[in-house]
C-alpha cells in the first residue's frame, strides 16, 4: 500500500483539551479509524528556539514525545483536516512510504 509515514513531535507537558497532546493525537487517530499509531518517548531533543528538552529523573513534563503513523493519502487528508479544525500547533514530518502486513497475522 502506498501512503505516508507521519511523525508528530511534542513534549509530555503540552496539552490539548486538558490532556497530553500526544495522548490526544493517539485518541484522535483511533477515532478517525486509522489503522494504528505509536507513541515514543525520547530522552532529549531541541526545537526551533534551540531550547533543550529532556526527561529528568524527577520531572518528565519536558520529555520529548513522538507520535508515529503510517496512513493512506485519504487518511492523511482526514487527519490533517481534523488537526486544522482543532487549530493544533504542532511540528510534523510527512514522508511518502510503502507499507503493509507480512505473514498470516494469526
Q: What is the pLDDT, as a whole number, of residue 41?
A: 80
pLDDT in tens, the chain (106 residues): 999 999 999 988 889 999 999 999 999 999 999 999 999 887 665 666 666 555 555 555 567 889 999 999 999 999 999 999 999 999 999 999 999 999 986 6
- Measured at the CA of 97, the angle between CA 93 and CA 37, to 5 degrees, comes to 65
Return the H-helix or E-strand segment holding 14. none
In a domain, 69, yes or no: yes
Output the domain CATH number for residue 6.
3.30.70.120
DSSP for 38-102 reads EEEE-SEEE-TT--EEE--SS--TT-EEEEEEEE-HHHHHHHHHHHHHTT---EEEEEEEE----
Return the H-helix or E-strand segment holding 18. none
In a domain, 74, yes or no: yes
Q: What is the pLDDT, as a whole number, of residue 93?
A: 97
- Residues 19/65, Cβ–Cβ less than 8 Å: no
In a domain, 106, yes or no: no
In a domain, 60, yes or no: yes
In a domain, 103, yes or no: no
Could you give the 3-state DSSP secondary structure of residue 4?
A: strand
Q: What is the pLDDT, as a whole number, of residue 51?
A: 61
Q: Which domain holds residue 28?
A: 2-98
In a domain, 105, yes or no: no
In a domain, 51, yes or no: yes
Q: Count the domains in the chain.
A: 1
Q: What is the pLDDT, as a whole number, of residue 7?
A: 97
Amino acid at each position: 500500500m502506498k501512503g505516508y509515514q507521519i511523525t508528530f513531535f511534542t513534549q509530555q507537558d503540552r496539552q490539548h483539551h486538558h490532556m497530553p497532546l500526544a495522548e490526544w493525537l493517539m485518541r484522535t487517530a483511533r477515532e478517525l479509524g486509522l489503522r494504528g499509531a505509536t507513541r515514543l518517548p525520547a530522552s532529549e531533543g531541541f526545537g526551533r528556539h534551540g531550547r533543550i528538552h529532556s526527561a529528568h529523573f524527577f520531572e518528565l513534563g519536558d520529555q520529548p514525545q513522538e507520535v508515529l503513523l503510517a496512513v493512506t493519502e485519504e487518511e492523511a487528508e482526514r487527519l490533517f483536516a481534523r488537526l486544522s479544525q482543532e487549530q493544533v500547533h504542532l511540528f510534523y514530518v510527512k514522508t511518502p512510504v510503502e507499507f503493509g502486513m507480512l505473514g498470516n497475522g494469526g
